[in-house]
Chain A
């Protein structure tokens, strides 16, 4: 009897321990820095005590809570180290909370009022809903001369968020050594030249994979392709025109068509890509491109620093990794779109003291933190220096995508979601994945046309049903 009781006690204790372990692991997985705010039930009371403490004029320190997607920079301490200067300058404490699945977790948090004081604005928030969640930072006319991409999180002429860093949106990562040793001296300026170059690499180095599709992770790796489209179009108004002219998404000879036709053609040639794309390995591919076993990958410029890092860690030459502009030309000139990364905004539900500090934080982060330089990104300040890795872009015309005219804001994204075309999505039924699979199955031009027609039909149905567009066009 006694033994049974002891056993029951042990079981109960172990259950309690495992429950405690669960809760502690759940807070650590979201990277919570504060021990007090791990529990959602206590957040309300915490918020009120925070608010009262800020009102005491006794010079008590404010605590600014910042939500970030950069778990890596939070974990290696560089974000905190960088912020010391700000904390000193404004006599406050900055607390970072980093999320692995940033958009997912923060979107859920935004159902409550507790989502930090300063945060990266998740793209799940529609532009028209920005004012329900974020504090205005100023009017577009005030900010546009000082900051790049000021219109990214703008609604009705009011700006709710500024890019924490930016980059060239579309480009192709390549191993410079392999390309040069294959005898390629000038980078390709057209899709045909690009494919010819890949073939040349295969000829010279049969063991090298000229283009690595990374198709196993296609749900995001293929999403690197649409980022070439704006650069390929060389037209800041490209998407707006498509809407107002009621054009198909894919028109032969047009940017969308050209970019994805190039993708289709590369993927169709089994000698140019890896043996089994569905078994590709993203982490492994970083080392392979550093070694020169892979020659080329379409990736955002953020990948450049990751590849270089892997090269350095493995005793290889990081300078082999280079970045080339999208191989498309308009009137003999190549264009390169620059885009913002996540924009930082201030929580509308914070109290005034925190809001003010939050706005100062955003200004400081962009102008003084040195984050963009450390990350190799383009600084949000107008006229700031371009980072080193863009040497191959020296002949390109840089441009930013034009704002949608009033009344047309958010219409493009609304059509994209409603039609489930999903230009930036990677679901299994997505056109990009279908194109890749048709290419792997060598379905030829007919296979491409079939997918393109289906996408156009879906897009046009949703576009014609869109009330905002109809109202805009009158």
Chain B
């Protein structure tokens, strides 16, 4: 007993003492620093997300009156009335566009990493659209694709004697026009990521390849590509996620008219024009699940290759 009472004062410190000690300070700092972002995350992401999941099992309007539990009815409506899910088809355009975007980005990134003049300027110019506000980009392309002779693109093609084309109301062209605008905006980000990945490859390997007499294509295929495969996988997931949830560009340029509506536009219309908040929440959950499934598939796919 006596021995214990001597030894214990070291171990049995008060909370205040513990906090002043090294471990205490370490935990306190961590907790305090994490508290703010976690509080914001909970308040603005977690709670609304949980609410949304609850809403998706309810029939409710924007005012939150007349709430009625309907179980899986909202999901049943989504999968039986195809007018909701059919808007996902337009995502295929953006899906195809995202592959073109990745290929092009990889090409430009590789070019910019080789010894060319003014590489910094090009990087800046190409990355700039990504920094611009999405609304501004949409407004620029609205002007660019105007269908009368006042549009930028039509003015250019009229120099070659072509008649003005109704880019945005021609249903076989308009989705590609929107994809073009989307690629233009987001390609800078892809290029930047690729440049970062390529530059992280040790220059020694290039030197060795040079000594072995490898040409540019061999260097790309055997050094650059394997070195940045994880980044490509990441970009692919982001691109598919972007394609499924594309919103601002079609919403502002065409408002979803002439068959350019997307799933997110449809969700907003269902929720805020027809006041079917429950159904719209269910649509959001379905979109979430689709993206989760794609992500899982990607993970499995890329693990096998490794």
Contacts and interface: CB of A to CB of B under 8 A. Distances in A.
Q: Do A and B bind each other?
A: yes
B258 A278 contact: yes
Interface in B113-171: 142, 145-151, 164, 166, 168-169, 171
A29 interface: no
Contacts of B260: 428
Given A219-B255, A279-B147, A429 B62 contact: no
B155 to A, nearest CB: 13
A278 B166 contact: yes
A427 B257 CA distance: 8
B66 interface: yes
Contacts of B257: 215, 218, 278, 428, 433, 437
Nearest to B255: A219
A276 B272 CA distance: 29
B265 interface: yes
A124 B255 contact: no
A104 B146 CA distance: 31
Contacts of B150: 279
A280 to B, nearest CB: 10
A150 B177 CA distance: 50
Nearest to A125: B63
B61 interface: yes
Nearest to A428: B256
A240 to B, nearest CB: 23
A68 interface: no
A429 B266 contact: yes
B83 A429 contact: yes
A422 interface: yes
B178 to A, nearest CB: 12
B272 A218 contact: no
Given A274-B148, A278-B168, A278-B169, A107 B269 contact: no
Interface residues of B, number: 36
B18 interface: no
B275 interface: yes
A108 B151 CA distance: 39
Contacts of B270: 420
B147 A278 contact: yes
A394 interface: no
Given A107-B62, A219-B255, A279 B146 contact: yes
Contact of B275 (A219, A417, A433, A440): A417
A276 B153 CA distance: 14
Interface in A97-133: 104, 107-108, 110-111, 124-126, 129, 132
Contacts of B169: 276-278, 437, 440
B65 A129 contact: yes
B64 interface: yes
A427 B273 contact: yes
Nearest to B275: A417
B235 interface: no
A274 B272 CA distance: 31
Interface residues of A, number: 32
Interface string A257-277: 000000000000000001111
B272 A104 contact: yes
Interface string A405-443: 000000000000100101001111100010001001100
Most chain A CB atoms below 10 A, which of B149, B151, B166, B265:
B166
A111 B273 contact: no
Interface in B43-68: 61-66
Contacts of A440: 169
Interface string A230-270: 00000000000000000000000000000000000000000
Contacts of A429: 83, 261, 266, 269
Nearest to B258: A437
Interface in B237-277: 254-258, 260-261, 265-266, 269-270, 272-276
A274 B273 CA distance: 28
B261 A275 contact: no
B261 A428 contact: yes
B247 to A, nearest CB: 12
Contacts of A275: 147-149, 164
A111 B147 CA distance: 44
A134 B256 CA distance: 37
A422 B274 contact: yes
A278 B254 contact: yes
Contacts of B171: 441
A108 B164 CA distance: 45
B258 A124 contact: no
A132 B63 CA distance: 11
Given A111-B63, A279-B148, A218 B255 contact: yes
A264 to B, nearest CB: 16
A279 B65 contact: no
A278 B83 CA distance: 23
Nearest to B269: A427
A79 to B, nearest CB: 26
Contact of B65 (A104, A132, A216, A425): A132
Contacts of A425: 269, 273-274
A126 to B, nearest CB: 8
A420 B270 CA distance: 8
Given A276-B147, A427-B269, A428-B261, A124 B63 contact: yes
Interface of A: 104, 107-108, 110-111, 124-126, 129, 132, 215-216, 218-219, 274-279, 417, 420, 422, 425-429, 433, 437, 440-441
20 contacts: A107-B62, A107-B63, A126-B66, A132-B65, A216-B255, A276-B148, A277-B169, A278-B254, A279-B148, A425-B274, A427-B266, A427-B273, A428-B256, A428-B269, A429-B83, A429-B261, A429-B269, A433-B257, A440-B169, A441-B171
Given A218-B257, A279-B150, 9 more contacts: A107-B63, A276-B147, A277-B169, A278-B257, A422-B273, A427-B269, A428-B257, A428-B269, A429-B269
| 4 smallest beta-carbon distances between A and B, as pairs | A276-B147, A428-B256, A427-B269, A428-B261
